[in-house]
Amino acid sequence: MANERDVCYENEKPLLGRMTQLSAGSLLALCIGAGLALAPLTVQAQNFQSSQRQALDSVVAVVNNGVIMRSELNDRMAQIEQQVQSQGGNLPSRSQLERQVLERMVMEEIQIQMAKDASLTIDDTELNRQVRSIAESNGMTLDEFADAVEADGMTLASVREDVRREMLMRQVQQRQISNRVSVSDRDVERF
C-alpha cells in the first residue's frame, strides 16, 4: 500500500499542495478511484484506435512546396472515368490511367506555382467572361450551365476555380513561349 501511495503522490504533487487537509487514506482512495475511472476510457480508446484505424488521406506527390493528395488524385480519376464513360470511350488500365493523371496533375501544380511566383492573377471580371463564354459555346445560359454542372455532381464554384487554374496555366505557357521565341531585326531582314 505504501508503494501505491508513493506512486500517487509522485503523480499528484500539485493536488497535494492544494489539499493539505485530506488524510493519506482518503487521498489514496481518490487516486485509486481516478485510476479506475480512467482505465475504461483508456481501454476504449485503445480498442477504438485498433479497430477504427484507417488512413484519412495521403500524399502521392510532392511538387516543390506543394503536395498532391490521394483524395485529389482519386477525385480527378473519378471525373475522367465519368467523362469517358459518358462519351463511350475506352480507358487504359487503372494503373496506367492513374500514372497519366498524376503526371498531368504534377505539371499543372508546377505551372500554378510558376504563376504564383510571377504574381499572375485572374480577376473576377475576366473569369466571369470566360465562364459565360464556356456556357454560350455549349448553347446554354449561365443559369442553365450552373444547373448542368450541378447535375454532373460538381458546383459552379469548383468549376470557376478550375477555369481560373486553366487560365493561369495558359498565361504561364504563353509567357514561356514568348520568352523562348525571339525574332531579331536581322531575322526579319533575312526573311
- Residue 169, number of CB atoms within 10 A of its CB: 18
pLDDT recorded at residue 18: 43
Q: Give helix 2-11 / helix 24-52 axis angle, nearest 10°.
A: 70
Q: How confident is the model at residue 153, as a pLDDT? A: 80
pLDDT computed for residue 49 by the predictor: 56
The tens place of each residue's pLDDT in the chain, 191 residues long, gives 444 444 343 444 444 444 444 454 444 444 444 444 444 544 455 555 555 666 689 999 999 999 999 999 999 999 899 888 888 888 899 999 999 999 999 999 999 999 999 999 999 999 999 999 999 999 999 999 999 999 888 899 999 999 999 999 999 999 888 777 777 778 777 87
Amino acid at 91: L
Q: How far apart are CA 83 and CA 20, in angstroms?
A: 73
Give me the pLDDT at residue 50, please: 53
User: pTM to 2 decimals?
Assistant: 0.61
Distance from the first to the final alpha carbon of the chain: 102
Residue 145 buriedness (CB in 10 A; 0-12 / 13-18 / 19+): buried
Report d(CA 144, CA 142) in Å as an integer: 5
